[in-house]
A and B are shown apart, each in its own frame.
Chain A
Amino acid sequence: MINKQFKSLSGYAILGLAALTLTGCANKAVVSYGDAQAVETTDINFGSTDLQKVASQMTDSLLSSPVVGTMTANTRPVVFVERIKNKTSEHIDTESITDSISTQLLRSGKFRFVDMTRVEAVREQLTFQNEDALINPSTAVAFGKQIGAQYMLYGNLSSIVKSNADKADVYYKFTMRLMDMQSGLVEWADETEIRKTREKSTFGW
């Protein structure tokens, strides 16, 4: 009798424990700050970690190459970033990659940049300064004084995606080149690769 009661009691206890377990892990909306530099593996698409990896590897490779060493020994060459061609099947903001790379190169103190994405805004402002009666002509920034870029930085991002029922695999190849605008010679080139795989997990839900 007592044994039976104990059994049913322990049954309730287990049910209660199970209920507690479930409520403890209920889907509550929790907002928190994460580490922006952390490895992100939400899905297989091009993500922040890939962007950071590509940018830091390309910058390191460019800054440590012997050609760039002689190029930047006495001067800080002026570079313009053309663009990274996105040849993958995804929508990727490649300007964000070139922004990271050019920022890191600028911070190294080895290169100077001209920004082709703001040319129209500069032209508009200079036209205003030089042609509008509001501006004191002695303070207007003159036309024809800007410095032309000596080098062009450009590249490609391509991907190979393969998947079957249980597995998906994506391979990214990022190629970057630095061209001397006068001679047309490619002075530096490098590529970096990323492989990401998604498999069905045996455990977990």
Chain B
Amino acid sequence: MKYILPIIALFMLSACSSRPVTSGIGVEQTTNAYKEQLNVNNPQLAKKLLIRDVKTRQTNNLTDVVVTLASTYKKSQYLQYQFNWFDKDGFVIKGNHSPWQALTLFGFAKTQLAGLAPSPNAVTFSLAVREVSTEAQEFKD
């Protein structure tokens, strides 16, 4: 008897969980100091995932960026990331369709996320990394 209630509660939670956690960690290039650019909205994810380094350079007059992402967790992580680009006045580049991209980061692995500005007037960027635990992306070991 005493097990039934928790089981029902579990069913209620699992069957109706339609709002996955969509916050994560990120980089926002608004200031020059690298430490101040880091953005943590999801402390639990920040325990497993670190943004180690942000590098930018100019390639063919376009801002080119790589962000080093490192896992501090023994299991694989199923993540998504998105770059957004802004002009020198901080306006978002209109019509810039930068999709969320899926990424599998293996345990304690390190990877570089590369982004390229869509046009020469895009000079700063923001990067968001999140894990989405929807039904279609069940967490596996």
Contacts and interface: CB of A to CB of B under 8 A. Distances in A.
- Of B1, B5, B97, the most chain A CB neighbours within 10 A belong to B97
B95 A107 contact: yes
B63 to A, nearest CB: 11
A52 B60 contact: no
Interface stretch (A18-26, A74-82, A150-158): A18-26
B33 interface: no
Interface residues of A, number: 34
Given A25-B15, A63-B60, A107-B95, A201 B138 contact: yes
Nearest to A14: B4
A24 B16 contact: yes
Q: Do most interface residues of chain A lie in helix, strand or loop, or is the interface mixed?
A: helix
A53 B59 CA distance: 21
A24 B12 CA distance: 9
Contacts of A37: 82, 97-100
B62 A64 contact: yes
Contact of B136 (A36, A41, A107, A203): A41
A53 B98 CA distance: 9
B12 A39 contact: no
Interface residues of B, number: 34
A108 B122 CA distance: 10
Nearest to B16: A25
A166 to B, nearest CB: 14
A110 B16 contact: no
Contact of A14 (B8, B99, B102, B138): B8
A130 to B, nearest CB: 36
Given A21-B8, A203-B138, A60 B132 contact: no
A107 B119 contact: yes
A17 interface: yes
A56 B99 contact: yes
Closest 6 CB pairs of A and B: A52-B99, A41-B136, A69-B60, A60-B116, A37-B99, A64-B59
8 contacts: A25-B16, A36-B97, A37-B100, A39-B99, A63-B59, A63-B62, A69-B60, A72-B60
Interface of B: 1, 4-5, 8, 11-12, 14-16, 59-60, 62, 64, 80, 82, 95, 97-102, 114-116, 118-120, 132, 134-138
